[in-house]
Amino acid sequence: EKGTYPHYMLKEMDEQPSVVRKIIQAYSNADGELTIDDNILEALKQADRLYIIAAGTSYHAGLIGKQYFEKIAGIPVEVHISSEFGYNMPLLSEKPLFIFISQSGETADSRQVLVRVKEELGYPALTITNVPGSTLSREADYTLLLHAGPEIAVASTKAYVAQVAVLAVAAYVAGKAAGRELDMDLKQELAIAANAIQTIVDSKNELEQIAEDYLKIARNAFFIGRNLDYYVSMEGALKLKEISYIQAEGFAGGELKHGTIALIEDGTPVFAIVSQEQVALNIRGNVKEVVARGANACIIAMEGLEEEGDRLVIPKVHSLLTPLVSVVPLQLISYYAALHRRCDVDKPRNLAKSVTVE
């Protein structure tokens, strides 16, 4: 039930801090240490390469998951869009483990890949889903649950945050089990991220104002970032287009000069995320390039990397966990942009919550 909330989407965004806390709890053992099912850990250990398969927002979470498994656990990963994988299968490694990320667990595009790789080719599969007993969960060998509670709004918000958090937990536990030196306490860092998300969902007035200032009359919008911020840019653009119908594109800052910068006109809104220290100067350089061509740039920077003129400063979290936090202002900005345009936020046109046709 959405209770006093005008929309499920708003309620679900507000739930995000508690979803992260729930995940910490659900994946902690009796000693208070992060853990995952032994069989899943073993499957991750056995694999020489992970193939993450997903669609839409879940695909965007998968891109972040790739970095987690590679950087934290040292396991090579490929990420593929479900609907492409079926007819454009890459050469597979010797011992692949397939990971399906799906909020609903019902996405037909992902299921057709699962049937192919598991039933026809005999490879092991793990599903990361919000819905216990869903088709993808039943048909895979293993399941990791998101513990996000039902997500009703068509635009996925809390499930994305949950996917990123669960991927971090799985990679961390696998990394520890492999005896890797990890210089982070993930449990503590996730708790810090939960608090940071809370700070952002408590800044709704500011985010509504940003939507008003940048998107009121916009026909299109761009989201840029580098490294993890690039993946979050893609998710921010998807959120905006699906609920406000503003044409939006998320891309890597460095790609601007290879074509997209031609689209920048006087007043074009450009949202730039600055949360990755090693590329902060580069992305700020990109912002200067678009501003010089008239763009209306909105810089969202992480505490410690902020500069004068930035529009929003988000609380500092571990550099690998920034997507959990930086996505939240983009969700809220999209929500208010859609609201200002009187769009049906929870049920955008042409979309269904779970896409059960290929």
What is the CA 223 to chain-centroid distance, rounded? 14
Size of the site for ligand F6R (CB under 6 A): 15
Contact 59, 102 (CB under 8 A): no
Please identify, among the stretches 96-104, 195-203, 207-215, 276-284, the one whose residues bind ligand F6R according to the rule CB under 6 A: 96-104
Contacts 24+ apart (CB under 8 A), 5-8: 7/153, 7/335, 7/345, 7/346, 8/152, 8/153, 8/346
Please identify, among the stretches 98-106, 118-126, 276-284, 301-309, the one whose residues bind ligand F6R according to the rule CB under 6 A: 98-106
User: Is 156 near ligand F6R (CB under 6 A)?
Assistant: yes
Contact characters 328-357, ligand F6R, x per CB under 6 A: --------------------------xx--
User: Is 155 near ligand F6R (CB under 6 A)?
Assistant: yes
User: Is 65 near ligand F6R (CB under 6 A)?
Assistant: no
Is 176 one of the catalytic residues?
A: no
Whose CA is closest to 158, among 328, 357, 326?
Answer: 328
CA distances from 306 to 273, 300, 302, 312 (A): 11, 8, 6, 9
User: Is 58 near ligand F6R (CB under 6 A)?
Assistant: yes
Site residues (CB under 6 A) for ligand F6R, limited to 209-268: 238, 242
For residues 84 and 89, what is the distance between their CA atoms, to the nearest angstrom? Answer: 8
Smallest distance from the beta carbon of 314 to ligand F6R, in angstroms?
21
Q: Which is nearer to ligand F6R, 50 or 243 (CB)?
A: 243
Q: Which is nearer to ligand F6R, 110 or 244 (CB)?
A: 110
Q: What is the 3-state secondary structure (H, E, C) of 242-276?
A: HHHCCEEEEEEHHHHHHCHHHHCCCCCEEEEEECC
Q: Which residues are catalytic?
A: 353
Give contact residues for ligand F6R (rule: CB under 6 A): 55-58, 102-104, 107, 110, 155-156, 238, 242, 354-355
